Amino acid sequence: MAATKTPRKKATPRATPRRGLSILVLSGPNLQLLGVREPEIYGTETLADVHARLVARGAELGVQVTARQSNHEGELCDWIAAARTEHDGILLNAAAYTHTSLALFDAIKAVGLPCVEVHISNPEAREAYRHVSRIAPACIAKVSGFGTDSYLLALEGLVRWLERAGSGRQAPGARRKAR
């Protein structure tokens, strides 16, 4: 009797990140002090460590990650404006500017790129003045409360969002100039 083969189910293709995506990661005021500033809230990892982890994870995903930090609201706005032609999406930890900056809100809205709000701690579990985000209405999502892993989770989420947005139609950042 001949052996019969059991038909194998076709594997469901897994979404793989599209090569060539570029993500801008911006961190706001006082985040250059990560590792020494209130480690009981923000941990002991430095911002340089976070940036290195983001670049490494981006490489694994096939995504270019550019990470910057500034204490100056105008500089953050300038970087967001320039992202329109250079990047496909933005991760933004606006830090204290989260609760006060209409300028950052306007910049995010103006460029039309998907932006994920990122926080190391959970603002809603902290002081009442941290409960309101001025930038949230301009963002597609928010990741907070996972320590510095919030940045990595936000990166993975934004890449998946861009993949879905790009399947069958132009991705939000596709209008950028060729590099």
Q: Would you please indicate which residues are annotated as catalytic (active-site) residues?
A: 42, 119
Rounded to the nearest 5 degrees, what angle is found at the Cα of 79, between the Cα atoms of 177 and 114?
70
In the beta sheet, which residues pair with residue 24? 66, 90
With contact defined as beta carbons under 8 Å apart, do 24 and 87 qualify? yes
Contacts of 87 (CB under 8 A, 6+ apart): 22, 23, 24, 66, 113, 173, 176
Integer Cα distance of 146 and 156 in angstroms: 14
Residue 174 CB: number of other CB atoms within 10 A? 11
With contact defined as beta carbons under 8 Å apart, do 16 and 162 qualify? no
Numbers of helices and strands, H then E, in the chain: 5, 5
What is the length of the chain? 179
